[in-house]
Amino acid sequence: MESAAAAAAAISRIGLAGLAVMGQNLALNIAEKGFPISVYNRTASRVDDTLHRAREEGGLPLTGHYDPRDFVLSIRRPRSIIILVKAGSPVDQTIATLARFLEPGDCIIDGGNEWYENTERRIAEVSASGLLYIGMGVSGGEDGARNGPSLMPGGSFQAYGNIQDVLAKVAAQVDDGPCVTYIGEGGSGNFVKMVHNGIEYGDMQLIAEAYDVLKNVGGLSNAELAATFADWNRGELESFLIEITADIFGVRDEFGEGELVDKILDKTGMKGTGKWTVQQAAELSIAAPTIAASLDSRYLSGLKEEREEADRVFKEVGVLGEALGRKRGIDKKALVDDVRQALYASKICSYAQGMNLLRAKSTEKGWNLNLGELARIWKGGCIIRAVFLDRIKKAYERNPRLANLMVDPEFAREMVQRQAAWRRVVGLAIEAGISTPGMSASLAYFDTYRRARLPANLVQAQRDLFGAHTYERVDRPGSFHTEWTKLARESKAGAGSLN
């Protein structure tokens, strides 16, 4: 009896396989919240590292395993095992390694940035052996994993019930609860995380454009930029990304004069979730121009050598004349205030696009996503965490069927209040030859969406002329086709010229 009790006490509440940075930190977080955890990694040294850290942090309840069978058997049934390995085939390999020892009712939770259809395939595959599956978005980077991430679990609701208590304690905590909720069936957790990352691309691009305008049109120094972003972080823009941006401007270069930011190669890396977001938007006929602009900007940033050559070519032919570049006698304070407003309004447009993409996918897949709740679980822990997400949550609570965030009465008022500043910033940037693709795309999105009549009538006429695609009329029902070319010829006789 006694030894059975001792063995039972040694059994872990949960397991985690894959001990790279995210896995290690999440395992320590879970252990620190008082849940005994077993950990495993293909390569033994990472198990040792994790055990070492658990000891250093005061003997957290974490046990290391070097053999997958021992690992699985050390976990209490029904077992819940989080895996944090590279997306794609490493996930399939890890599942195969563990599944041999799992029993019906046990669950695998993939915490990687996985393509949602892979999760849906795996749900079907493991269900043949009675196993449950969850695809869980985890955001917040290394620090979030260790101290409280935003968690987006989707898949088996039954399996979610088994780990709800663990996730609720491990997730970041905000005023209205832990940053975790059951997202929905299938691959919805991965999909929501993917769109979160797409929105993150947009936010980072918009901030980079604000920096570009302030630095290259307004002439702000790094010290002034640091102060500006720190100040913005005390107002409506308060967010993790604005905060870290303020910090970045203050870091000096250890190898030379000035600040480190100016020594960093202007080539942005990426891992694919932003591209997937834009591809999905196109698949679902959802306009996501701000997110697409941020993706395009990353692609163009990658062409460093071509851009250097272009810079040389255009300087030679004299494009960088008087008209371009820094404005003389600019009022820095007024510019900073305008850019702040342009950034905020642009951000609303970008979130509107991401939310509409989520809703379209939810309708297609029957996921029943709760957009207000998604905004809530992004309030803490994750990279896009921001005070402003509480306002998004409230907008969807006021009206869950809101067609677009921009037309929520509060956001609509805010857009109108900021539009003059927003237009000034985009106009100034265009004049100065400083590209602001994200802010411009957001403004065009706003200006397109808010107009009851667009020039699409002319496109329809063209389509009908060359392809007999037919058109509808504004004043009577039905679809119409016109012999445009014939009628145009006939009327040419009587036509005059522009004067």
Where does this chain bind ligand 2AM (CB under 6 A)? Answer: 18-20, 41-43, 46, 85-86, 90, 93-94
Give 42 or 450: the residue with its C-beta nearer to ligand 2AM.
42
23 is in an annotated binding site: yes
Q: Is 185 a catalytic residue?
A: no
Q: Give the helix/strand (H/E) hosting 133.
A: strand 132-139
271 is in an annotated binding site: yes
336 is in an annotated binding site: no
43 is in an annotated binding site: yes
Give 50 or 290: the residue with its C-beta nearer to ligand 2AM.
50
The nearest distance, CB 271 to ligand 2AM, in angstroms, is: 13
**How far are the Cα atoms of 31, 69, 168, 387 from residue 377, in angstroms, in the given order?**
22, 35, 11, 12
39 is in an annotated binding site: no
Q: How far apart are CA 355 and CA 362, in angstroms?
A: 10
Give 86 or 365: the residue with its C-beta nearer to ligand 2AM.
86
Q: Output the CA torsion sign for 256, 264, 435, 290.
A: negative
86 is in an annotated binding site: yes
- Reading the block at residue 317, the tokens are 């032919």
Residue 463: how many other CB atoms lie within 10 Å: 13
| Residue linked to tokens 């769109």 | 195
The nearest distance, CB 420 to ligand 2AM, in angstroms, is: 49
The nearest distance, CB 39 to ligand 2AM, in angstroms, is: 10
18 is in an annotated binding site: yes
Q: How far apart are CA 469 and CA 479, in angstroms?
A: 9
Report residue 408: phi and psi, to 5°. Answer: -60, 135
Terminal CA-CA length for the chain: 103
Q: Give the helix/strand (H/E) hosting 37.
A: strand 37-40
Q: How far apart are CA 462 and CA 471, in angstroms?
A: 10
261 is in an annotated binding site: no
- Reading the block at residue 27, the tokens are 């395992």
Q: Rounded to 5 degrees, what angle do the CA atoms 370, 372, 374 make? A: 70
Give 44 or 320: the residue with its C-beta nearer to ligand 2AM.
44
The nearest distance, CB 22 to ligand 2AM, in angstroms, is: 8
Instruction: List, edge to edge, every strand of the sheet that includes 62-65.
Output: 62-65, 37-40, 14-17, 80-83, 107-110, 132-139, 150-155
Report residue 141: phi and psi, to 5°. Answer: 65, -165
Pairing, β 80-83 against β 14-17: parallel
**How far are the Cα atoms of 111, 147, 151 from residue 22, in angstroms, in the given order?**
9, 11, 13
Maximum separation of any 2 CA atoms in the chain, in Å: 106
201 is in an annotated binding site: yes
Give 92 or 238: the residue with its C-beta nearer to ligand 2AM.
92
Give 43 or 485: the residue with its C-beta nearer to ligand 2AM.
43
Give 125 or 212: the residue with its C-beta nearer to ligand 2AM.
125
Give the burial class of 236: count Cβ atoms within 10 A of its Cβ; 0-12 exposed, 13-18 middle, 19 or more buried.
middle
Out of 114, 193, 379, 414, the active site residue is 193
The nearest distance, CB 149 to ligand 2AM, in angstroms, is: 17
Q: Is 347 a catalytic residue?
A: no
The nearest distance, CB 84 to ligand 2AM, in angstroms, is: 7
**How far are the Cα atoms of 22, 115, 135 from residue 112, in angstroms, in the given order?**
9, 9, 8
Out of 114, 120, 200, 259, the active site residue is 200
Give 41 or 297: the residue with its C-beta nearer to ligand 2AM.
41
Residue of 233, 239, 186 whose CA lies nearest to 382: 239
65 is in an annotated binding site: no
298 is in an annotated binding site: yes
Query: Cβ neighbours of residue 497 under 8 Å, at least 6 residues apart?
Result: none
In the three-class reduction of DSSP (H, G, I as helix; E, B as strand; rest coil), residue 94 is classed as helix
The nearest distance, CB 66 to ligand 2AM, in angstroms, is: 11
The nearest distance, CB 21 to ligand 2AM, in angstroms, is: 8
Tell me which residues are annotated as active site.
193, 200
Annotated binding site for substrate: 113, 139-141, 196-197, 201, 271, 298, 463, 469
Annotated binding site: 18-23, 41-43, 85-87, 113, 139-141, 196-197, 201, 271, 298, 463, 469
Annotated binding site for NADP(+): 18-23, 41-43, 85-87, 113
